[in-house]
Amino acid sequence: MRSYLLTTAAAAALALAMNTGASAAGWDGADDLPTSPLACDASAPAAPAAKPYDGGKAVNAPDKAGKEISVVDVPKLIGIGYFNATSKGIADAAKDLGNVKVKTDGPTEAKIDEQIKFIDNYITSGVDGILFAANDPVAIAPVLKKALSKGIHVVGYDANSTPDAREWFVNQAEFNGIAKAMMDSMAKEAGEDAAFGIVTSTFTTPNQARWIAEMQAYGAKCHPKMKWLETVEAQEDNVLSFNQATTLLNKYGDKIKGLFGMTSVATPAGAEAVTKAGLCGKVAEVGLATPNAMKPYVHSGCVKSVVLWNPIDLGYAAMYVMRAVVDGKLKAGDASVDAGKLGKLNVVNGSEILLGAPYIYSKDNIDKFDF
Q: Which pLDDT score is estimated for 28?
A: 78
Examine residue 299 and state whether it is found in any structural domain, yes or no.
Answer: yes
Examine residue 57 and state whether it is found in any structural domain, yes or no.
Answer: no
The closest of 317, 268, 259 to 295, measured between CA atoms, is 268
C-alpha pair distances (Å), 227 with each of 107, 152, 197, 252, 303: 36, 46, 9, 12, 20
Q: Are residues 266 and 319 in the same domain?
A: no
Q: Are residues 83 and 163 in the same domain?
A: yes
Q: Are residues 300 and 284 in the same domain?
A: yes
Examine residue 369 and state whether it is found in any structural domain, yes or no.
Answer: no
Q: Which of 56-60, 130-134, 202-206, 247-251 has the lowest mean pLDDT?
A: 202-206
Across the chain, how many H-helices and E-strands are there?
A: 10, 14
| CA–CA gap between residue 132 and residue 155 (Å, rounded) | 7
Based on the structure, what is the number of domains in the chain?
2
Q: Are residues 227 and 262 in the same domain?
A: yes
Residues paired with 361 in a beta bridge: 306
The larger pLDDT score, comparing residue 327 to residue 26, is at 327
Q: Which of 16-25, 85-94, 158-167, 287-296 has the lowest mean pLDDT?
A: 16-25
Examine residue 5 and state whether it is found in any structural domain, yes or no.
Answer: no
368: DSSP letter = G
Average pLDDT over residues 260-264: 96
Examine residue 36 and state whether it is found in any structural domain, yes or no.
Answer: no
Last residue of a domain, one of 275, 292, 308: 308
Q: Are residues 191 and 74 in the same domain?
A: no
Q: Are residues 180 and 151 in the same domain?
A: no
Question: Beta-carbon neighbour count of residue 276 at 10 Å?
Answer: 16
The percent of residues in the chain predicted with pLDDT above 70, rounded, is: 90
Q: Are residues 157 and 214 in the same domain?
A: no
Q: Which pLDDT score is estimated for 41?
A: 85
Q: Are residues 269 and 212 in the same domain?
A: yes
Examine residue 333 and state whether it is found in any structural domain, yes or no.
Answer: yes
Q: Are residues 261 and 342 in the same domain?
A: no
Q: What is the DSSP annotation of 99-159?
A: SEEEEE---SS--HHHHHHHHHHHHHH--SEEEE--S-TTTTHHHHHHHHHTT-EEEEESS
Q: What is the DSSP annotation of 83-102?
A: HHHHHHHHHHHHHHHSSEEE
C-alpha pair distances (Å), 331 with each of 62, 149, 170, 206: 16, 18, 15, 25
Give the tens place of pLDDT for each residue, 153-173: 999 999 999 999 999 999 999
Examine residue 131 and state whether it is found in any structural domain, yes or no.
Answer: yes
Q: Are residues 104 and 197 in the same domain?
A: no
Single pTM value for the model:
0.83
Examine residue 364 and state whether it is found in any structural domain, yes or no.
Answer: no
Asked if pLDDT for residue 16 goes beyond 90, the answer is no
Question: Beta-carbon neighbour count of residue 146 at 10 Å?
Answer: 17
Asked if pLDDT for residue 42 goes beyond 60, the answer is yes
Contact 126, 72 (CB under 8 A): no
Contact 114, 148 (CB under 8 A): no
The domain containing residue 103 runs over which residues? 69-173+310-356
Q: Which pLDDT score is estimated for 43?
A: 55
CATH (domain of 293): 3.40.50.2300
Q: Are residues 99 and 143 in the same domain?
A: yes
Pairing assessment for the beta strands 284-288 and 256-261 based on DSSP bridges: parallel
Q: Are residues 219 and 254 in the same domain?
A: yes
